[in-house]
Amino acid sequence: MRLEGKVALITGASRGQGAEEAKLFSKEGAAVIATDVLDEDGKKLEAEINRDGGNCLFIHLDVSDPQQWENVISETLKVHKRIDVLVNNAGIAVWGTNDDTTEEIWDNVMDINAKGVFLGTKYVLPEMKKHGSGSIINISSVSGLRGQAGIQPVYNASKGAVRLFTKSTAVQYGQYGIRANSIHPGAIDTQMIAHTHNDREDVFKDLVPLQRIAQPIEVAYGALYLASDESSYVTGSELVIDGGLTAK
Ligand SMILES: NC(=O)c1ccc[n+]([C@@H]2O[C@H](COP(=O)([O-])OP(=O)(O)OC[C@H]3O[C@@H](n4cnc5c(N)ncnc54)[C@H](O)[C@@H]3O)[C@@H](O)[C@H]2O)c1
């Protein structure tokens, strides 16, 4: 029970990595607030976790909307009185090159991937400050570490923003006992990239030293470490979970 007594709020939790984190955190004793724009999948996840003996509440949240953040924070505090862990996981990817990026796409990606992380952080900080502790985990990407082909550069821009926003949060709020770290996943087997590779094993053999795509649980274990008190001296750091992709 590595998260016993902690309250963890996870965005983009209805499926993929967020759902895996919600299930793992719950198994490790956390009360989980799972949020997403996908209500049906979120409710199913809530039911599954609670059926397995966990404590999960699903609340609708579009991370780019400050009013919805206010609602989620107030609903969470009504039920649990505190927030110990925030995982800013929600995100979208857009495939192509900069030629494909319209102003509308730029704004949408930045609103969800970057502004969403800013808003979540802004709304949990006062609560974490009250308790003199907290762990904020921001899901960036290997796309926040380097450029790449195939994805619109606005995705890299948004994930790079998450990386440095995390470090500034760590610098400014360490004095309140609040930690902030980013995770940089490589290729993870979720719906986000499902449609991009027909013959995935071949693709990943060339790209990834471990020669395979990762399962979402392999990122969730990294998030678990950063959420738990085992990482009590870790802040402003980047946890790269990419099978060696960026080591090349
Ligand atoms: N899959 C990968 O290979 C990979 C690699 C690196 C980083 N990431 C990042 O990991 C995170 C999780 O992605 P995933 O792989 O689980 O993909 P996914 O598409 O399965 O999950 C993303 C979740 O975010 C939710 N979401 C999208 N827009 C939202 C919004 N406006 N408000 C709230 N929720 C919203 C979706 O509904 C979905 O549940 C994302 O930030 C993604 O950029 C993914």
Q: What is the pLDDT of residue 203?
A: 78
CA of 159 to the centre of ligand 1 (A): 12
Is 112 touching ligand 1 by the criterion CB < 6 Å? yes
Per-residue pLDDT reduced to its tens digit, 78-128: 999 999 999 999 999 999 999 999 999 999 999 999 999 999 999 999 999
Of 63, 119, 190, 217, which is best to mutate to test ligand 1, by the most ligand atoms within 8 angstroms of its C-beta? 190
Of 192, 218, 245, which is best to mutate to test ligand 1, by the most ligand atoms within 8 angstroms of its C-beta? 192
Supply the pTM of this predicted model. 0.98
Q: What is the 3-state secondary structure (H, E, C) of the chain?
A: CCCCCCEEEECCCCCHHHHHHHHHHHHCCCEEEEEECCHHHHHHHHHHHHHCCCEEEEEECCCCCHHHHHHHHHHHHHHHCCCCEEEECCCCCCECCHHHCCHHHHHHHHHHHHHHHHHHHHHHHHHHHHHCCEEEEEECCHHHCCCCCCECHHHHHHHHHHHHHHHHHHHHHHHHCEEEEEEEECCECCHHHHCCCCCHHHHHHHHCCCCCCECHHHHHHHHHHHHCHHHCCCCCCEEEECCCHHHC
233 catalytic residue (yes or no): no
Q: What is the pLDDT of residue 160?
A: 99
Is 219 touching ligand 1 by the criterion CB < 6 Å? no
Q: What is the pLDDT of residue 31?
A: 98
CA–CA gap between residue 208 and residue 243 (Å, rounded): 6
Q: Which ligand 1 atom lies nearest to the CA of residue 18? A: 16
Write down all domains in the chain, each with its CATH number in brackets. Answer: 7-247 (3.40.50.720)
CA-closest residue to ligand 1 atom 20: 16
Q: What is the pLDDT of residue 9?
A: 99
Regions in the chain scoring below 70 on pLDDT: 196-200
Per-residue pLDDT reduced to its tens digit, 211-220: 999 999 999 9
Q: What is the pLDDT of residue 130?
A: 97
Q: Which is catalytic among the residues 155, 173, 221, 225? A: 155
